[in-house]
């Protein structure tokens, strides 16, 4: 696969492209990373240095790739943290260019906006733009439960909710454009407090997987999840299998990180779990 990945970049640590590129390469895929910001570290530290890239500079890099005549070989576009609302227009334009060159290409949107614990942590102008302009052109959408609630106007999803509500919201957002929705950080009402879940929804069905909840905050885990799910879905054509493989790899990365005592994801240390996931978590069909 060849993947155009339009996301943030950090010099220290692993979020955005700095979390997505290596795992995709470790799976054997070619990645063309385009940065929306280039920071010293992720913003979770409270301070950082480096530029928020001008949208026209982002567009220029994409145009330069197009000038090489390689867009017909691009299999997927992946986007994450956008940095500014104007970057959304650049991403949508890039998706149109890629799909014009290769109609079989897909676009995965990780609608990075916030989470249930922190609330919205991006420029407040970004979420409405994602909902109104970016989501409709996506094929694969990977929101966490909080972000799914924003996209569908369901504030109740910021708290633990029945799985039926998660499925209903996923169906609603699929009607906006995406054919596949992967909901991460699912907080299901009635589930044990020491577990966390993910739900994948397509026209063919819906599946849920449960793992132990690790006592840690893992910046970048959503970025690697979106990247791996995209790659495995392309390779297998099965949302169920993609969910199983992605869950196995991400859990092992997180577990390795926790045991290391480090704050940043231990991607290099856990690379074998990325390349050869041990699918030990049951994926259960919901419908």
Q: How much is the average pLDDT of 260-269?
A: 97
pTM for this entry: 0.96
pLDDT, the chain, mean: 95
Please name which of 87, 89, 1, 9 lies closest in space to residue 43, comparing C-alpha atoms. Answer: 9
pLDDT above 90 for 74: yes
Residue indicated by tokens 């633990």: 160
pLDDT above 80 for 116: no
- Cβ atoms of residues 205 and 214 within 8 Å: no
- Find the domain containing 253 and state its range: 2-285
CATH code at position 243: 3.40.1190.20
What domain count does the chain have? 1
């Amino acid at each position: 696969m060849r993947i155009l990945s339009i996301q943030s970049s950090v010099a220290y640590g692993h979020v955005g492209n700095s979390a997505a590129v290596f795992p995709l390469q470790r799976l054997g895929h070619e990645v063309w990373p385009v940065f929306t910001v280039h920071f010293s570290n992720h913003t979770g530290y409270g301070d950082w240095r480096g530029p928020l890239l001008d949208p026209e500079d982002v567009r220029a890099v994409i145009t330069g790739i197009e000038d090489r005549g390689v867009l017909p070989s691009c299999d997927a576009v992946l986007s994450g943290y956008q940095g500014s609302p104007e970057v959304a227009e650049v991403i949508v334009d890039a998706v149109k260019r890629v799909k014009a060159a290769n109609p079989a290409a897909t676009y995965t949107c990780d609608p990075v906006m916030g989470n249930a614990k922190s609330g919205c942590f991006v420029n407040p102008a970004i979420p409405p733009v994602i909902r109104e302009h970016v989501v409709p052109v996506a094929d694969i959408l990977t929101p966490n439960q909080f972000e799914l609630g924003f996209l569908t106007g369901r504030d109740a999803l910021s708290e633990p909710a029945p799985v039926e509500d998660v499925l209903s919201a996923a169906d609603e957002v699929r009607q906006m454009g995406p054919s596949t929705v992967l909901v991460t950080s699912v907080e299901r009402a009635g589930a044990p407090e020491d577990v966390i879940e993910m739900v994948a929804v397509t026209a063919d069905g819906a599946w849920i997987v449960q793992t132990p909840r690790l006592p840690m905050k893992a910046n970048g885990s959503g970025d690697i999840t979106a990247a791996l799910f995209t790659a495995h879905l392309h390779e297998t054509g099965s949302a169920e299998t993609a969910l199983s493989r992605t869950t196995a790899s991400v859990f092992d990365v997180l577990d390795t990180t926790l045991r290391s005592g480090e704050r940043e994801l231990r991607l290099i240390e856990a690379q074998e779990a990325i390349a050869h996931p041990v699918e030990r978590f049951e994926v259960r069909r919901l419908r």
